[in-house]
Amino acid sequence: MFRAAALLLALVVVGATAGAADARRSDNRKKPVLFIHGFELDGDADCASNWNPMKRKFRAWGHKGKFWTIAYYRGDTNCAHWLGHHGRHSRHFGHRGRAHGTNTNLRHLGYHLAWTIWNHYSRRGKRVDVVAHSMGGLIIRYALAQTQRNHRRFPPYLLVEDVVTMGTPHGGARWFTIFCSLKQCRQMRMGSDFLVWLERNGWNPRGRGGTDWSTFGSTDDNIVPADRAAGTARDRSPIHDYIGSCHKVWYRGAANIGHSDFKTKTSKRITAPVYRFNCQDGAWRKDNDSHWPVRRADLAVTFGNR
């Protein structure tokens, strides 16, 4: 009886603590937003073509904070900041030289990203939001997971209030990774050591004060299956998820959202056909009047209940 009562008290205390952390949310459009692109076979992403449509809409909808498009490949162009300035290239699954390519371990990129956020924002007490496409979502997930686990090569903590991932292979990408021998392709294969590690150690990684995760997938994404991107089982059963995100959005076939469309579907109309999950009620719901991806991302990084 005593042990049961003690356990119940502990759960109440933990719940109250988590609630207190989330209660400190800013819920505004004043924070900096970091945009992290996905995998590029040639290792040369153009941050302008990747993110300009979304950035313009975010500004139009009232975002006042700084926008940072992050470069991590040696061939990246038109990006605001290269994460290789922070941390050491020889550390944490590191390499010789200073260049990153498609054979650079995602763990190493997560290490650099963690120190980038720490040096520019967290150590100064500033919170940020993150919007990541495709593989970029795995990089921020790993950065937060290892920091939360107090890994000795990572910063003391990170202040990341919201993370939105769009078309991220939390449960693995499609068939192309089987025929691709590049390190990053192998890490994105379903069942890879890297993805299994994330499920076990980065289920719902949180920065100091809490991090609210939103994960988007689409039936028409020919790169990452909807279930593996939204982070749920194919039948949307809670028995097996790939990530413990509080907000999951599955764009149904009628929405015609391809892998790159997450970043460019900027309509403000509330007409998107989706399945939605919110951890506050713990149920999947079919919705024919939902937000399109860019607007959904804007609301997700602004409010904790979206």
CB of 105 within 8 A of CB of 93?
A: yes
Strand partners, 165: 132, 215
From CA 50, how far away is CA 133, in angstroms rounded? Answer: 9
Q: How far is CA 283 from the centre of its chain?
A: 21
Mean predicted confidence (pLDDT) in 165-172: 98
Question: How far is the CA of 305 from the CAs of 90, 112, 193, 279, 302, in angstroms?
Answer: 41, 30, 33, 9, 9
Q: Please, which pLDDT band fits residue 8 given cuts at 50, 70 and 90?
A: very low
pLDDT of residue 282: 85
CB of 85 within 8 A of CB of 94?
A: no
Element containing residue 129 per DSSP (H, E): strand 128-133
How confident is the model over 256-265, as pLDDT tens digits?
Answer: 999 999 999 9
DSSP 8-state class, residue 46 = B
- Comparing CA positions, the residue from 264, 267, 290 lying closest to residue 278 is 290
- Share in percent of the chain as helix, strand, coil (round to 5): 35, 15, 45
Backbone φ/ψ region at 256: left (φ over 0), alpha (ψ -120 to 50), beta: left
Q: What is the CA radius of gyration of the chain?
A: 19
pLDDT of residue 240: 73
- Comparing CA positions, the residue from 156, 182, 154, 185 lying closest to residue 91 is 154
Mean predicted confidence (pLDDT) in 140-147: 98
From CA 101, how far away is CA 110, in angstroms rounded? Answer: 14
- The lowest-confidence range among 48-57, 272-281, 293-302 is 272-281
Q: Would the pTM of this model clear 0.85, i.e. be above it?
A: yes
Q: Please, which pLDDT band fits residue 239 given cuts at 50, 70 and 90?
A: low
Contacts of 17 (CB under 8 A, 6+ apart): none
pLDDT at 11 over 80: no
From CA 58, how far away is CA 236, in angstroms rounded? Answer: 30
SS3 of residue 176 by DSSP: helix
Mean predicted confidence (pLDDT) in 108-135: 98
The tokens describing 192, both together, are 């890879």
- The lowest-confidence range among 17-31, 58-72, 115-129 is 17-31
Q: How many helices (H) and strands (E) are present in the chain, helices listed first? A: 8, 9
